[in-house]
Amino acid sequence: MLKSLIRTSAALLVAVSFGLSCMPVHAQEMTQAMAGGVVSGANTAIRNAMSQPQQPKTVTKRQDGLQSSVAQVPPVSQQPVGGAQQAGLPVGFNYFGDFSMADPFGDIGNRSGKWLQGGMDGMLSYGFSPTSRVVASYYDLQHYPYGFNSGTVPFYLPAGLPANSCVNLDGSTKGGCSPENLDMTTKDKFLLLSYEQLISAGKVKGRDIPLVITPTYVARWSQIDESGIASSDVVSFVNPNNGLIVNGNSTRSAQYWSVAITAPFLKTPRMFGTFTVAPTWLDHPNGVNITNHAQLYQILYLEYSVTKSLRLFAEPQVSRDYLPTDPYPQHLAAYFVGLTQRVAKNEFVQLVYNTGGPTNYSPYGIEYFQCSMLPCSTPGHSAPAIGGLKASQLQVQFGIGSPVVLPL
């Protein structure tokens, strides 16, 4: 199936995927939501379309000195292997739902062994035809970033005050430094509204090359335990533009527009692969954002079916995340590896390990603390300057319906 096209593109894209998986990367929440809410539906459509029987060929036969066209078709009783196949997107109503939990890994100091707060996810779609459908999906994504509860960082006082000091991020007073113990446990929440359109980009050896175009609106908001307020992501931080402290600002709430284009590069009886590019831009700048140019998300998906009920997958990806704390987009890369086991007709269990971090924001975690006025202990008078947000976690999800390749 598309063998001449697949062999060349597969070699190139698989090489890219292994290259990405070796980079210092970050489990990036926006790309995770794109992968689950957008790429999953596109993969379903492409897989179904590529599993269709080859189009019948028309040959010419000579009868009584005249040319006549005869369609070569299989016997009427012959069915595609595995039974009747959908031509693309599922038609009518489809859904999935799950409950999830996650355990963080890496250098998170005295937060080691802290299971993250659980979450739930769901999707409802309606397919008008095998080539078009609308989708609404919701995701809870949990993580704990590196570097917020380990190490010692400088503590800067306003000009003219006594000499600068230091802060122990593990909450101790060793070395004469001030204690600090932040709880940056984060739950990011996403609502995605999408329209999926399956089209043909042409034919190779009589077969269509399927593409899926997915315009999407994304709304994200978060809960950060350090805020001390339920369902709030308002925490103080240092503005990297001018070094001043920002108070009362949502740090992880944003809205995006995106147009994803997903194409296949690998299809065999056991293996399947697609590549997605998605120009994405802010609905409106917020916080300390300066620019708002379209940023390019790139997602590679590889799958291996061990049995009819068990599949392994890898999903390297690169993106540009743009949060209210960022003057400019973060250049992010991440990879996900895991397995999905269907335990009954509609029930599944999925395990995913993911890791990654931005390549243009350093160091990871807290760079220093800044005090703007005395007393520094007063809320709003001091705040951390935050570098890159790197995180790794094992995600476990239990669900019904069709699982998405997303650490939920």
Q: Considering the domain boundaries, does residue 375 fall inside one?
A: yes
pLDDT on residue 233:
94
Using alpha carbons, list the distances in angstroms from residue 109 to 112, 225, 366. 6, 16, 13
Q: For residue 223, what is the domain's CATH number?
A: 2.40.160.40
Q: Is residue 317 part of a domain?
A: yes
Residue in 190, 406, 408 with CA at minimum distance from that of residue 301: 406
Q: Is residue 73 part of a domain?
A: no
Per-residue confidence (pLDDT) for residue 39, from 0 to 100: 80
CB 130 within 8 A of CB 88: yes
Q: What are phi and psi of 225, to 5 degrees?
A: -60, -30
Phi and psi at residue 36, to the nearest 5°:
-80, -45
Q: Which regions in the chain score pLDDT beneath 50? A: 1-28, 58-85, 405-408
The pair phi, psi for residue 165, each rounded to 5°, is -120, -150
Q: Which helix (H) or strand (E) holds 391?
A: strand 391-401
pLDDT score of 17: 30
Distance CA 206, CA 56 (A): 8
In a domain, 72, yes or no: no
Q: Number of folded domains in the chain? A: 1
User: What is the pLDDT, as a whole number, of residue 10?
Assistant: 32
Question: How far is CA 285 from each of CA 112, 281, 292, 323, rounded to the nearest angstrom?
Answer: 35, 10, 7, 9
The string of DSSP codes covering 28-42 is -HHHHHHIIIIIHHH
Write out pLDDT tens, residues 213-246.
999 999 999 999 999 888 899 999 999 988 899 9
Contact criterion met (CB below 8 Å) for 122 and 144: no
Residue 70 lies in a domain: no
What is the residue type of 379?
P
pLDDT of residue 377: 85
Distance set, CA 186 to CA 44, 121, 221, 267, 405 (Å): 31, 16, 11, 37, 21
Whether 308 is covered by a domain: the verdict is yes
pTM for the model: 0.79
Q: What is the phi/psi pair of residue 226, to 5°?
A: -65, -25
pLDDT at 22: 28
Judge whether 391 lies within some domain.
Answer: yes
Range of the domain at 177: 3-51+82-401
Name residue 360's amino acid: N
pLDDT for position 128: 95
Is residue 58 in some structural domain? no
Burial of residue 395, with CB atoms counted within 10 A of its CB: 0-12 exposed, 13-18 middle, 19 or more buried: buried
pLDDT of residue 77: 27
Report the pLDDT value the prediction gives residue 40, as an integer from 0 to 100.
79
First-to-last C-alpha distance (Å) of the chain: 33
